[in-house]
Amino acid sequence: MSDNDAVILLVEDDRVDIMTVQRALKKIDISNPLYVARTGIEALGMLRGDGYPRIEPTPSLILLDLNLPKMGGIEFLKELRSDPALKDLQVIVLTSSNEPSDRAAACEYEVEDYIVKPHTFDEFSSAMSLILADWSEENTA
């Protein structure tokens, strides 16, 4: 289930969560290129080619944690949505925050979905499978 042109950007600073996403994608047979940015600043740099190698093609999906160093996820969303070249990118929030205020703030920036990270790998894989089902159908040849 892959179209090699459909790129995913994971914006996550936790090594264990990065490995969990990688394992979950492999388990559900999504082999699209996965780029990892550890801060919102790094992610914007990778999307714009500003201080970081530009991701080509532009990712068709961003998986975003909200709790990031230097630039939090909400601040990243605000910057992303204000950039004419990036404002239409699909974003799924994948975070440990179950705070209603975080959910409301993310939804103000038109995220595709808001997922609270499950605690077990099997639950995480199931959640990834569900949230990526529509995306992978849109991006498979």
At 62-96, the pLDDT tens digits run: 999 999 999 999 999 999 999 999 999 999 999 88
Sign for the pseudo-dihedral over CA of 47, 115, 112, 7: positive
d(CA 137, CA 120): 26
| Residue 10 near residue 132, CB atoms below 8 Å | no
Average pLDDT over residues 114-134: 80
pLDDT value at residue 141: 45
Domains of the chain as residue ranges with CATH: 8-138 (3.40.50.2300)
- Band of the pLDDT at 1, cuts 50, 70, 90? very low
| Residue 73 near residue 95, CB atoms below 8 Å | yes
- Band of the pLDDT at 2, cuts 50, 70, 90? very low
* pLDDT tens by residue, 11-52: 999 998 899 888 888 888 888 899 999 999 999 999 999 999
* pLDDT tens by residue, 108-118: 999 998 988 88
> In angstroms, what CA-CA distances link 39 with 32, 100, 114?
21, 23, 19
Q: Length of the chain, please?
A: 141
pLDDT, the chain, mean = 88
> The whole model's pTM is what?
0.89
